[in-house]
Structure 1
Amino acid sequence: MLIHTTPRLSFPRPLVYATYRDKLIELVPYLPNVRFLKIKSRSEAEGQVYSVNEWHAGGQIPPLLRAWLGEELLSWTEYDIWNESDFTVEWRIETHAFTEAVRCSGKNRFLEENGTTLIESRGELKIDPEKLKAVPKIFRGQVTRAVEKFLASKIEPNLLQMAEGVSHYLAQQSLG
């Protein structure tokens, strides 16, 4: 499954980029689907910032998936490589449920257009049903489709919600 969003924020690219990279904890109140965020690590080397963040979201889990896991489906670890020279971030998400079966990664480009910022997010989500070891073989196809559908219904809206949250955060910062 391809992941694709292109939100536009009415703030300059360096400010938007730095806010996404450096202000995650401050952004949580602007993200209604996020219960909490834990910054696991952050380091800088050769013009890049490497960060690892653990996200915990809220929401309902479909009954079929609830049978094999609980809140793990709403938690993930994100590995980012921020490159300020070209205003990009390469990201990889490791789900806490079905970790060995789910592959999700992509790249965001922060593009400047007439004083605004266009965030081009592109990624891919793949699930290998053969690696769903906790699920009986007879149910793997059904569970794979359910997990893909569930994650698809969350990833793109969460990327858009993040952009909206950053926009609200920056608007409030400019007022205060």
Structure 2
Amino acid sequence: MLISIDARIPFPRPLVYATYRDKLTELVPYISKVKQIKFKSSQEQNGLLYLVHEWSGGANIPAIARAFLSEDLLNWTEDSIWNNSEFTTSWHIKTHAFTEAVHCTGKNHFIEDNKGTLIQSRGELIIDPQQIKGTPQQLTVAIARIVENSLGKQITPNFQQMSEGVRQYLKKVQ
């Protein structure tokens, strides 16, 4: 599944970029399907900033999938690499359930224009049914589809809500 989401925030690029990078935990109230974001670590190296955050989601698992899936599917660790000179962040999401089966990576570009900042998020979500362990073999493809649909339905709204949250947050603090 390809991820392609754009958002526009009517504030200067350096401010929008820094808010996403440095104020992530303060944006939780603006994202309805996220219960908590915990900062885990930060490291600077060769002009890049490496951040790790742990996310706890609040979406519902589809009823048909509850027998096989746990709430851990809604929790993930995000590793991100922030390139301040290019105004980009590369990210990798590692789910706490089906870790070997779920591959989710992407890159966000923060582009300044006459309307503020355009954020282009591009990535991919791949579920490898062969890596889903602990379920009957006949069901792994169906479970993979359910996992992909469940995660896919969270990514776009979370990104859009976070962008709207950044806009509201900046409006409040400016």
TM-score, length-normalised on structure 2?
0.97
Q: Which amino acid aligns with 1:58?
A: G
CA distance in 2, matches of 1:62, 1:172: 36
Pairwise CA distance, 1:115: 5.0
CA distance in 2, matches of 1:35, 1:157: 14
CA distance in 2, matches of 1:19, 1:31: 15
Pairwise CA distance, 1:34: 1.3
Please say if residues 59 and 154 of structure 2, whose CA atoms lie closer than 8 Å, have aligned partners that are also in contact: no
Q: After superposition, give the CA deviation of every residue in 1:19-59 in whole Å (9 maximum; x if it has no partner).
A: 00001122112222211111111111222110010000112
* 1:138 matched to 2:138: yes
Q: Which amino acid aligns with 2:161?
A: Q
Structure-2 residue corresponding to 1:106: 106
* 1:78 matched to 2:84: no
Query: Per the alignment, in what secondary structure is the counterpart of residue 149 of structure 1?
Result: helix
Please say if residues 13 and 115 of structure 1, whose CA atoms lie closer than 8 Å, have aligned partners that are also in contact: no
Question: What residue ranges of structure 2 are gaps of 5+ in the alignment?
Answer: none
Question: What residue ranges of structure 1 are gaps of 5+ in the alignment?
Answer: none
1:39-54 equivalences in 2 (<5 Å) = 39-54=39-54
- The count of corresponding residues between Structure 1 and Structure 2 is 174
Q: Which amino acid aligns with 1:60?
A: N
Q: Which amino acid aligns with 1:54?
A: E
CA distance in 2, matches of 1:44, 1:33: 30
- Which stretch shows the higher mean deviation, 135-144 or 86-95? 135-144
Q: Which amino acid aligns with 1:78?
A: E
1:85-96 equivalences in 2 (<5 Å) = 85-96=85-96
CA distance in 1, matches of 2:46, 2:115: 28
CA distance in 2, matches of 1:65, 1:134: 14
Query: Per the alignment, in what secondary structure is the counterpart of residue 173 of structure 2?
Result: helix
Structure-2 residue corresponding to 1:33: 33
Pairwise CA distance, 1:100: 0.4
Query: Per the alignment, in what secondary structure is the counterpart of residue 6 of structure 1?
Result: strand
* 1:150 matched to 2:114: no
